[in-house]
């Protein structure tokens, strides 16, 4: 279907893009005659999520994340301000929040919603 093959080791997973977002597809086991494939493509996002046009607060209100768009597995975010940045699913980046450095990771996209994780040190 136009996609190029990807090699996976048992226990490995890859982010794949599809019509309604991104998901993880993995290889959980191989036997003589079959491969066992897993994915979270049909699972709803868990944990903190934000939809296009909405804001979510994370890490005890240290971060305000506004999602301005989600297209083809990438998201455009504004964090604690107006300046936006593009992030890909699986990507983690650092953000200054007062005197703390926080890490934000884009976990997945379903439709027009983005799953996030965040922590501050």
**pLDDT tens, 97-121?**
989 999 999 988 888 899 999 999 8
Count structural domains, the chain.
1
Asked whether residue 17 is domain-assigned, the answer is no
Asked whether residue 23 is domain-assigned, the answer is no
pTM as predicted: 0.77
Asked whether residue 89 is domain-assigned, the answer is yes
- Whether 68 and 76 have beta carbons less than 8 Å apart is answered as yes
Which domain, by its residues, includes 59? Answer: 49-120
Asked whether residue 9 is domain-assigned, the answer is no
Asked whether residue 22 is domain-assigned, the answer is no
Asked whether residue 94 is domain-assigned, the answer is yes
Alpha-carbon Rg for the chain in angstroms: 16
- Whether 42 and 52 have beta carbons less than 8 Å apart is answered as no
Q: Tell me the C-alpha distance between 5 and 22, whole Å.
A: 17
């Amino acid at each position: 279907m136009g996609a190029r093959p990807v090699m996976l080791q048992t226990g490995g997973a890859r982010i794949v893009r599809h019509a309604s977002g991104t998901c993880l597809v993995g290889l959980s086991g191989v036997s003589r005659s079959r491969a066992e494939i897993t994915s979270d493509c049909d699972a709803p996002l868990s944990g903190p999520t934000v939809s296009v046009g909405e804001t979510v607060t994370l890490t005890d209100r240290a971060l305000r994340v506004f999602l301005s768009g989600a297209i083809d597995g990438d998201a455009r975010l504004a964090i604690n301000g107006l300046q936006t940045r593009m992030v890909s699913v699986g990507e983690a980046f650092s953000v200054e929040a007062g005197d703390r450095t926080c890490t934000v990771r884009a976990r997945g996209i379903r439709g027009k919603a983005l799953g996030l994780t965040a922590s501050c040190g």
